[in-house]
Each structure stands twice: as C-alpha cells, then as structure tokens.
Chain A
Amino acid sequence: MARPLPIEGDEEILGSKGVIRRVELVRIITKALYSLGYEKSGAHLEEESGIPLHSSVVNLLIQQVLGGQWDEGVATLKKIGLDENIVKSASFLILEQKFLEFLDQDKVMDALKTLRTEITPLSINNARVRELSSSILSPAKFVHVGSSSQSSTRAKSRSKLLEELQMLLPPTVLIPDRRLEHLVEQALILQRDACMFHNSEDKEMSLYKDHQCGRDQIPSRTLQVLQVHNDEVWFLQFSHNGKYLASSSTDRTAIIWEVDPHGELSLKHKLCGHQKPVSSVSWSPDDSQLLTCGVEENVRRWDVSSGKCLSVYEKAGNGFVSCGWFPDGKWMCFGANDKSICMWDLEGKELECWKGQRTLRISDLEVTSDGKQIISICRETAILLLNREAKVERLIEEDQTITSFSLSQDNRYLLVNLLNEEIHLWDIQGEVKLVAKYKGHKRSRFVIRSCFGGLEQAFIASGSEDSQVYIWHRGSGELIEALPGHSGAVNCVAWNPTNSHMLASASDDRTIRIWGLNDLKMKHKGPATHCNGVHYCNGRT
C-alpha cells in the first residue's frame, strides 16, 4: 500500500510548548488503541498516518515470540540492532521460556539440551541457570524455600514474556504498554497536588478540564461552640477513630466529647480529679482509654466509656509534665519535671528511664506509632528524637525557642512552633531536614499549637494569639484561611483524622469551636432547651 502523502501542516513537532514529537504521539496513541481492543482503529491509524507502531523486524519478533518459534525469535533479535548486552538478556528470556515450556510438556531431555547448549553459554545470570537446573528434578518433590520458590519454574504465558521483553528493550523499539495512560495519570496527579483546597475524597478528577477545588472544601465556618469549661482551654485532641474529642483546661478538668454520625458533638464525660490545670491529654491507640496530665502533677488514666479514673500515676518528688502511649497500649511514656523521660506499664511499674536533659518543664512528648522513637523538646532550641531500639539520638536544632510540636500520622514529619511566629516542617526520616515554613499567625506570650490535617494531611492548621484559626496548604505553604470567631487566643487546634471537614479549636475564651464546611445547612436549636452548654450557630459569633 503506497504511503499517503503528508497532509499540509504535517509538522514534526506538536503542541504549543514545542516538546511533543508527532511520531511518538501517534505511536503511543496507536498502542493505546490496540490495548483498548480497537484493533481495526489501531491498524487504520498506522496506515493513515504512515507511522507504523513497530518496525517490521520487531513485528516479526512479536509474532515469533507469541507463536513459540524460539530459535527464530533469537535470530530476529540479533537483526534489530540492539546493544549486545540487551541481546543477551533478551535471548536469555526467550530461551528460558523455551526451556520451561519443554519441562511443562515433560520433554526433559530437550529442556536439558536447551539449558546446556543454548542458555548456559550466554554466560549471564548464573543464579537463574542454577534455579533452572534444579527445576529439572520435578519441583513437586522439593521443599522450595527462599528464592527458588519465588521466581517461578513453571512457564509463564507468552504474552507475559512479551511484556518482560518490552521492559528490557529500549522504548523506541518496543513501545511500553499503557504509556499513554501513564502520561495522563501523571498530569492528573500533578493537578491534584497543585490543588490547594483539595480536601474531599469524592471530588473526581475529569480529563475535560484542569482540576481545581474551590475554597468550599476547607472547614471555615463555626458549626458549634462548646461552652462547658470554666477557664482557658489549653489542649484538644480527637481520638484515632474520630469519634471522640478530648479537651483539657486550666479549670483542672478534662472533657470527653462524643461526635455523632451527623458531626455534632455532645458532652460525654467530665473528668475531675486533677488539682492543677490539665496541660495535655493522650488517647490510647485503641481509643478506649485517655491519659490526662496535670501541670507538674500526676498523670491520670481514664476509661473512656465509663468516665472512671482507672489509675493515678505519681513519681515521688517529681511532677509529670507530659504523657504519651506506646503502640501496644500496654506502656506509657511520661516526661517528668526533673527533665527525665520514663516508660511505665499500666500498673505503675517503671520499665525504663532516660535521665539527663530529655525534656523541659513544659514540654511536648510523642511516641511514633511504631513505638520506636520518643520525641521530646529537650532544650529551648532543640528537639530530641530518641530511637529506643537502635539507642540512637538525633536532634532537631532551631535558632529560635521552640514552643510546641506535632507529629504527622505517617511518623515522617514534625511540625514545630517557634517563638518568632514561624511554624517549621521537618522531615525526620533519615537525616533531619527542614522542608517548609509557615507564617502569618500571631504568637507572643503563650504556647500556641499547630497540627496536620485534612485529606492525606495536606493542610496545616494553627492557633494564634489574635483569636483566629490559621490554615495553610502544606505543599505550597500558602495561607488559605484565617478564621475569626473566638474572642481570646486560640491555644490549640485539632483536625478530625477520619473527617477531613471537621476542625476543632480551643481558646482562652473558655470555648471550643467546631468548624466545618461552609455549605452545610445549619440546625437551630432553641437557646434554653438543653443546658449542656452546647450552642449551635451559623458561623458568626
């Protein structure tokens, strides 16, 4: 069939940026058509464009491989004009198939002959030669453990062989499968990562236009004001399953709130007993228990469903300043005001203690969810990462005083709040390195906390002394929201780990605000009907 004449304007390079080659684009479209099952269209495109998917030699190779003509296939390989090493590796693959198919048909001597005279002389991949040799003895009689059983000694399908050959051969010779799909996916993912408001699972991406979420995906409207504490609320944390929120206050109590399926919170238990302000709480890994820490006082363990205090942990002569759980829920970690960190079991027995300057008098403490590392602020400007197993200690050092920190869910990142109104994001895997900085909120006198949150923890939220809640897009560092509402410094924020649209904030104004999406229909309840101190409102004060 005569090659059609080039159409006018039939340029080599396409696209406004001048980076797409026509030949490549047509070939991957042709390949995509064939993969989708549109054989006729694929063939037609090859004809019409005059650009064949594969050269005739390669087509022959494909035919021979699928047809089991191994010796011819190996001969054809040599005609393609490839690098010698690739020819050897590809020949090995083809001959291996020949060998295995012989074995499958019980033609043991033929298989052995192929191995001895054709495969071994290639002098590559001795380990595989050894495996193939062993497989001549019927595999059923062996106890295969380790590599012998993982790489198969049964013949794979011929199309799988073709796939493997394609990975070996340069892509210009044999177009990789699903290349067009891969390119499109890449573009979609890039769009998604660049989307600053991407916070909802069900936002599907379409190929028709670039993906861009609206601001309406970020919680920005007060849905509830929880007014029960009698004094400043310092700390908040959602349970791991997102069904409860625990808050703690200078009024010496902690409160467990329940989140109902509609996203409304109600008071479940008020935990009284501490004689000092409660500086922090910590949920057990299975969310059945809560630890509360009084400032330089004791730590109490509470049962979440009954609200009863199960244990009080004290250390003679020392008060505790922070608490955390180990992942098996059997051991706890406390920071003490003698600057040591200790590990206790539920009965109050001390298992291990790290003395020396491990923690400050007011300090944060976290245990990574694999139980391997304990993180604590050990000096004004440094955070200690203590690896219990490897007995290695690493430090994050800052130029400014550190006020608080927060660990990401994947244990990879640490968000550090500094005195100078910056929040720093550190990558703590391997060598610690500073990855991003977030600014905009206000902090001058108090400890302000920040947290990760939203879909795949793509956002950073923080409290601020100007009474607003600040939200940044983690990847780009852009400030996307500053939410007014509180009438006092916002000390702590917590994002619900199972509901990317729910954010909670705790303030010196004694309230906790629950923030949600702007488009939710609001319920209005009469002001005097329930006096559990929970108000619903429409987003204004």
Chain B
Amino acid sequence: MDVDPRQFDQVVVNDDDLHSVVLSYLVHNCYKETVESFTSCTEMKRPADCLEDMEKRKRIFRFALEGNALKAIELTQELAQDLLEKNPDLHFDLLSLHFVELICSRKCTEALEFAQSKLAPFGKVQKYVAKLEDFMALLAYEEPEKSPMFHLLSLEYRQHVTDSLNHAILENANLPSYSAMERLIQQATVVRQCLSQEQGKDAFSSFSLKDFLKS
C-alpha cells in the first residue's frame, strides 16, 4: 500500500524552510559560488564569515580527498588548533591516509619510518591496535592492491575519512554536522521501515528515493 499522493497536497511547506534545506546542503559541501548566487537570488541572509570558512573547508576537503593528508592536517591545525587532539580517531585516520599514499608510491622505507614515528604511538591504546595492524600489513605486499587490505587504498576510504573530517570541522564551529537534506531522507527511510515492521511485512515497501521521486 502506498500513500495516496493527494494527501501530500494537504501538507503546506514553507518556502523559507525549503531554502534553508538547500542552503544547508550547499554549505555542508562547500559549494561556495552556488551559495553566493543562491542567497542573492532568494534574498536570504548569509551568516558572516560563512564564505571564508567554506573556502577553507573546501581546500582541506580537497587535499584530503586527493590523499594529501599532511597538507589537510596542516590546514586543519590552522583553522582549529585542538580539533585533531580532541578527535584522535580522526587524527589517526588522516595520518593513515598519508601512509597509504607512501605505500602506493612504493616508498616503503619512508612509509615504514612514518609508521614508526607517527602511527606507532597510537598502538599504546588498545582500540587502535587492530587498525594499525591492518595498515602495517600493507607493507608486506609488493602489490598492495592485491593484498587483503586493498580497500584501505580505495577512493571510498578516502571519502569516508574526508567526510569525518568535514563533520568534525563543522561540529567544532558549532554548525550542524549533517545537512538537513541528508537528515530528512534518513528520517523518511527510517519511518518507513518502522511502519512496515509494525504493519507486518509487505504493508509498506522500503523507502527508495528514486522511486519516490518518479512517482
């Protein structure tokens, strides 16, 4: 059973709310120019410093995604000094990105030295040991892409770390760390799931954004 589309018409959605949702998405992902044009078109108020912060975040974001973790770390320290200290997991992940870079460029000696100086200290804490072992294992393979840990070299992993970094920076600046759009979609999906659990299976199909937008 699907919801009758006519019921949607009864819910009034405020324009301002819609604008906020879009804006938050744009800000979250650092689309600076788009933010500028969007805010001027809709005559919305822009928080001060917003553009500058976004620009900085964007650069950090980019470096991390490319794998230039050291630069990303440097800029993050400039932006918010104690951020990485407060988020050791993130710090470790960023350092590991650099390690992976070195491995991929086949610079084993450097990689080993980097690991010994920067990553090893994390090994004193139990929860990092398994992660550390995963990364160290990459050293054993002349072709790390063929090792069991090949996923650590992938773009998905870098994106995952970059997203975490983004969240951390936003949180630090007291901005929401998730964009409203993302949250709304998550909400709709979860509510659907709960409803179908209550009504018994097949009462509601799982929420699919694609299908929903087509309907």
Contact = CB atoms under 8 A, between A and B. Distances in A.
Given A126-B148, A145-B126, A134 B136 contact: yes
A109 B109 contact: yes
Contacts of A109: 109, 112
Interface in A147-166: 148
A143 interface: yes
Interface stretch (B18-26, B60-68, B83-91, B113-121): B113-121
Nearest to B141: A120
B201 interface: no
B129 interface: yes
B177 to A, nearest CB: 31
A148 B129 contact: yes
B13 interface: no
Interface string B102-144: 0000001100100110011101111001001110111111100
Contacts of A108: 112
A138 B136 CA distance: 12
A148 B112 CA distance: 19
Contact of B133 (A115, A120, A130): A130
A132 B116 CA distance: 15
Nearest to B139: A133
Interface string A327-360: 0000000000000000000000000000000000
A112 B129 contact: no
Q: Which of A136, A137, A141, A148 has the most CB of B within 10 A?
A: A137
A129 interface: yes
Contact of A129 (B120, B125, B129, B137): B137
A133 B115 CA distance: 12
Interface string A98-131: 0000000000110010011101110000100111
Contacts of A129: 137, 140
Contacts of A120: 140-142
A143 B126 contact: yes
Interface residues of A, number: 25
A142 interface: yes
Contact of B140 (A115, A137, A138): A115
B5 to A, nearest CB: 53
Contacts of A143: 123-126, 129
Contact of A148 (B109, B124, B133): B133
Contacts of A131: 133
Interface string B181-200: 00000000000000000000
A144 B119 CA distance: 15
A129 B133 CA distance: 11
A345 B148 CA distance: 56
A137 B116 CA distance: 6
A132 B121 CA distance: 18
Contact of A142 (B123, B137, B139): B123
Contact of B136 (A121, A136, A144, A145): A136
B112 A136 contact: yes
A138 B116 contact: yes
Nearest to A137: B120
Interface of B: 108-109, 112, 115-116, 119-121, 123-126, 129, 132-134, 136-142, 148
Pairs of residues from A and B, 7 with the lowest C-beta to C-beta distance, nearest first? A130-B137, A133-B140, A142-B123, A133-B136, A134-B136, A134-B133, A133-B137
Interface of A: 108-109, 112, 115-117, 119-121, 126, 129-134, 136-138, 141-145, 148
12 contacts: A115-B140, A116-B142, A120-B142, A129-B140, A130-B136, A130-B140, A133-B136, A133-B139, A136-B139, A138-B120, A143-B125, A148-B129
